[in-house]
Chains A and B, each alone.
Chain A
Amino acid sequence: MATLIDMPKLSDTMTVGTLVKWLKNEGDAVANGDMIAEVETDKATMEVECFDDGVLIKQYCKEGQEVPVGGAIAAVGEKGEEAPEVDNSDAGGDAEDEKKEDDGGDEKEAGKDDEAKSSAKESKPDEDKVKGASDKKSDDTPAEVPAPATTDDGERIKASPVARKIAAEKGIDLATLKGSGPGGRILKEDVLNAEPAPAAAEGGGSGAGKAAAAEPAKPVATLEELDLPVSNMRKSIAKALVSSKSNAPHFYLQIEVDGAPLAALRKELNAKLAELPKEHGGTKFTVNDLTLKAAAEAVRRVPAINRSWEGDTIKQHANVHLAFGVAIDDGLVTPVIRAAETKGLREIGAEAKVLIKKARDKKLAPDEMSGSTLTVTNLGMFGISDFYGIINPNNAAILSIGATIKKPVVNENDEIVIGQTMKIGLSGDHRTIDGAVGAQYLQALKEILETPALMLV
């Protein structure tokens, strides 16, 4: 009996996934645990795992095609077996979701939608069309009709509408549930009692070799006009940042820090660590590692910077979940170091390294890039000396770390000497914090960066 593999819901906000690459072709033998495809969500590219042994008898979509969450992407069965008919032609992506959210939608459209969906598994009797037509006269706001669910062997699953709705929202497969209602109907309670299905794929691990799905961007030889497709990640970035910039009234502060002590410390540390035997040394710290540590440390002195705007309340967090920007092909992700204020430089450095690698391989798990309370972004490596980031939604602030550059400075003796300075910008959400809080925080950060031994305390 053939089993359908559905587009998994890999993040809270995911409604549609793009099948980036098939890892198994039609006719290939597959076993439980095999990765069969790579899927791009709004946040990352992840692998889809197969939970059955057999042969991949059918691919229902091409590479590059978008499939809504829950839509079938492949069928696994016995060799020579015929794959069930599946129609993914209504994979309309965001446009469709928006239409559905607007529940006062045009009935003609809604009717069409239902038909397309039901044709996947069930042929609906004609009365439905007739009824739809007669309804047009009287009622104006129909309820949405969820697609009928079926078991592996194609039998209709008995589930109440509200149970279907909640299951769809929570990503629970109705086929995995036992109904307690009449005739085994799955009820709301049955779905609420069920644990959500585990995410199909986890980033990292054995897939290191095949990890780099996307090749590095090739330089364009001549300038030409291009209409570039908007990836899910781009959409997601656009949505989050528009929301932040339009909802959070940003204010901006900047402080200039003497970068010499930090540079000296880094040089000394890295030199010493290189000399030490591998089990004690074997690591190198970047300026980013040191600024991350300092940023987390400074929150201890000004905890008010570590807040979230929650609408009716402002939450001051008990831990610093420190996000930092990582530029990747076609986008930007912000992995999070959890409870950064409790971690030493070595832990932060090691964790950042792993997260950056995962980010570049597009293997970050959704929970590795959510729940930040403060964000650090660094464009120093590009020689940018000062800039201001857009606040990560709901954080109170984002720190923008510029390059450490040599320039004339006036020292304590009023002499002009060559100094190493670093500019740190802070964009603050004025709903959550005021300028003074931002200023106090930058002051604390400056003190720690200029006397980096304070990080030991």
Chain B
Amino acid sequence: MALITYREAIKQALAEEIERDENVVIMGEEVAQYNGAYKVTEGLWDKYGDKRLVDTPISEAAFSGLAIGASALGIRPVVELMFMSFSYVAIDQLFNNASFCRYMSGGLMNVPIVVRGPANGGTNVGATHSHTPENMVANHPGLKVVCPSNAYDAKGLMKTAIRDNDPVFVMENTLLYGEKWEVPEEEYTIDLGVANVLKEGSDVTIVSHGRCAMISLSAAKILKEKHGIDAEVVDLRSIRPLDEETILNSVKKTNRAVLVEENKPFCGVDAQISHMIQYKAFDYLDAPIHRVSAVDAPQIYAKDLENWQIPNEERIIESVLKCVS
């Protein structure tokens, strides 16, 4: 297995899907000639040309609508948003049209598009570029939301997302692009809606996704070494569909849950999961469900303050200690 970056894994997934299916087209701002704002599509234009990689104007609403229209004619567009925060600009196309097309056409029209790009904070780019919009997207029936936490998942999930016949949002984490993981050479896909138990444990279940899953994993290691607490870490991989079974099985085993995400706490993904756990596993709980989210304020620009705003190992450990006390 090769040790490759998260960025490279996504690029491999895109390239392999372009090769596999002639209908797969990548579109977005600077995805082609400039090789992508975050270099995810680096080299693809050189190799596959204008027909497969389409540079668009700065017009998220327009090219998202173009992708939806193209998908109705059999194209499978992968739309790159320079920041997932810019999905808000295309809100009518993505959340009014893409999500409801299948429903409102009585099943006659499906929208096999992937909307992908960097999300989350921690890069000191201010409030309007640092959204963690998985809760907002997941709130729309008809949209699927995927949040890979590592290169292996990023590649496997991206391929599944491209092959899916409904709109799928892939939330890539900006801070993970340069990190490396082992990824096999041979082709593989990862089903949506199947969570991954990153670490087994018996004392408490930490449920997380995206980069926070990796932070949770390292917090779990510290908890084990310093505090003797054996935490189980569940990486959701996809928010919608949500793998309730894996979460419930883990909580039934450990009787305690700490939910970690970079979302703002109010109406967050964790709020949904927290409700689900208490509703379906109430009798198995031995403590209230704890949540570690971003501090509830517009994303802070100042570096030190932003690092304090989003979850880190210390805050997870503190929360787990409270939960198991």
Contact = CB atoms under 8 A, between A and B. Distances in A.
Interface of A: 135, 139, 141-146, 160-165, 181-182, 185, 187-188
Contacts of A141: 280
12 contacts: A142-B280, A142-B282, A145-B282, A160-B285, A160-B286, A160-B287, A161-B282, A161-B283, A161-B285, A162-B283, A181-B325, A185-B287
A216 B275 CA distance: 57
Contact of B255 (A143, A144, A145, A188): A188
A143 B325 contact: no
Contacts of B280: 139, 141-143
- The secondary structure that dominates the A interface is loop
Nearest to B285: A161
A72 B98 CA distance: 58
Contact of A163 (B276, B279, B281, B286): B286
Given A181-B325, A182-B325, A143 B286 contact: no
Contact of A181 (B276, B279, B287): B287
Contacts of B255: 160, 162, 188
Interface of B: 255, 276, 278-287, 325
A143 B279 contact: yes
Contacts of A185: 287
B139 to A, nearest CB: 12
Given A143-B281, A185-B287, 18 more contacts: A135-B279, A142-B280, A143-B279, A143-B280, A143-B283, A144-B283, A145-B282, A160-B255, A161-B283, A161-B284, A161-B285, A164-B283, A165-B283, A181-B286, A181-B287, A181-B325, A187-B286, A187-B287
Which 7 pairs, one residue from A and one from B, show the smallest C-beta to C-beta distance?
A143-B282, A165-B283, A160-B286, A161-B285, A188-B286, A162-B286, A161-B283
A181 B276 CA distance: 24
Given A162-B255, A182-B325, A188-B255, A139 B276 contact: yes
Contacts of B325: 181-182
A164 B283 CA distance: 8
Nearest to A186: B286
Which of B278, B281, B282 is most buried by chain A, counting CB atoms within 10 A of its CB?
B282
A324 to B, nearest CB: 41
A146 B283 contact: yes
Given A182-B325, A188-B255, A162 B284 contact: yes
A183 to B, nearest CB: 11
A142 B279 CA distance: 5
A107 to B, nearest CB: 10
B287 to A, nearest CB: 6
A181 B287 CA distance: 9
Identify the interface centre among B279, B282, B286: most chain A CB within 10 Å of its CB. B286
B164 to A, nearest CB: 23
A63 to B, nearest CB: 34
B58 to A, nearest CB: 38
B276 to A, nearest CB: 7
Contacts of B284: 143, 161-162, 165
A163 B281 CA distance: 13
Nearest to A168: B283
Contacts of B286: 160-163, 181, 187-188
